[in-house]
Structure 1
């Protein structure tokens, strides 16, 4: 995918999130200038995982929350998937409290279920689908800015 430099507000808009999510991600070191299309997916994953509270874990809303290692790992795995030639729309990111795993094939998904999920809470994030949506979103944005000009 051709490299595009984006503004932080564009990253948020393409991700379908408010700019406040982008500011939080920037302030926590998730996003860095220059912003690129891979930041769109990183921001979506960040917004998702930053809201997860595992059973038995207390997180007071009034306290500023810093990223935990598993959250950072999820964002980095999403970045890896963005530039991985093996990523397809079926690629998924499994997020567990103590592990993050990127899978693409149905067999890999089944293996994660058998190997890791026994009685554990987990989330499956459709990063492959989110990655596949980015080029169309960039094209729509480019066309709308040309029409506005």
Structure 2
């Protein structure tokens, strides 16, 4: 469950004018004394549909008005989506003048588009899954992305620094994503495990070697590293999309955290 925030904090987190929070409260869409992540999604969708004008429709944006049925459906669907375990990064909320629909996969999106274009004159798709996934950590809802435990550099014995970003995953396990100017070897993996264990004793450490540069996250290889007896090491390739599904969009920003400080130390 997410924490409560004041109206100004919610507006800031949504990158919106506080007036939208006030207007949503006046319409009974949110309770300003208990605003959370679901409310942020609701306000964001409300602000969108309040300004949406369908083809052939004329109305002033500044004129005072009550919500139309399709707008209420959209706002309620947005709140439901924030609670729905089926909601994922691909989820799209389709808004129409006569209703709403939520789809969760590219195939479902395509089916909706094929069916809707033949019977409706207008509809809008909102990336509701991405919006929910991008909620700040203290406002997370159904997306319980692993909590970040540390983000720091570790100097290895050979003078190379590796940047470690560690997340809690399943109970008793931590995943450490590691970026380095060169490929990690068994001694480095052991040092990483020991470093994370000193801060989180008694847990299993999963070490994943990530691309050093954030812009290469989707194209460069990711590997889970397994140590073997005698300083051996096995690299198991990991699919970036599968990692995104498990850890969320925060993986796209790992390289940007302290990337400029991940470097080979001068020995001079």
| TM-score range for the pair, normalised by the shorter chain length | 0.7 to 0.9
1:61-99: CA deviation from partner (whole Å, max 9, x where unpaired): 452021111111111111111111111111110011111
Is residue 2–residue 138 contact of structure 2 (8 Å, CA) maintained in 1? Answer: no
Q: Does 1:91 align with 2:97?
A: no
| Residues 1-149 of structure 1: pairs in structure 2 closer than 5 A | 2-32=1-31, 33-118=33-118, 120-136=121-137, 138=139
> Normalization by structure 2: what TM-score?
0.49
Is there any run of 5+ residues in structure 1 with no aligned partner, and where?
A: 140-149
- Aligned pair count reads 138
Cross-structure match for 2:165:
none
Q: Whose helix proportion is higher, 1 or 2? A: 1
User: Where has structure 1 moved over 3 Å in runs of 4 or more?
Assistant: 135-139
Aligned partners of 1:121 and 1:40: how far apart in 2?
26
User: TM-score, normalised on structure 1?
Assistant: 0.85
CA distance in structure 2 between the aligned counterparts of 1:58 and 1:41, rounded to whole angstroms: 27
Distance in 1 separating the partners of 2:107 and 2:95: 17
Q: Highest CA radius of gyration, 1 or 2?
A: 2
Contact 1:38–1:82, Cα closer than 8 Å, also in 2: yes
Name the structure where strand makes up a greater proportion of residues.
Answer: 2
Distance across 2 between alignment mates of 1:66 and 1:133 = 30
Other structure's SS at 2:134 match: helix
Kept after mapping to 2: 8 A contact 1:14/1:137 = no
- Higher RCO, 1 vs 2 (CA within 8 Å, ≥6 residues apart): 1
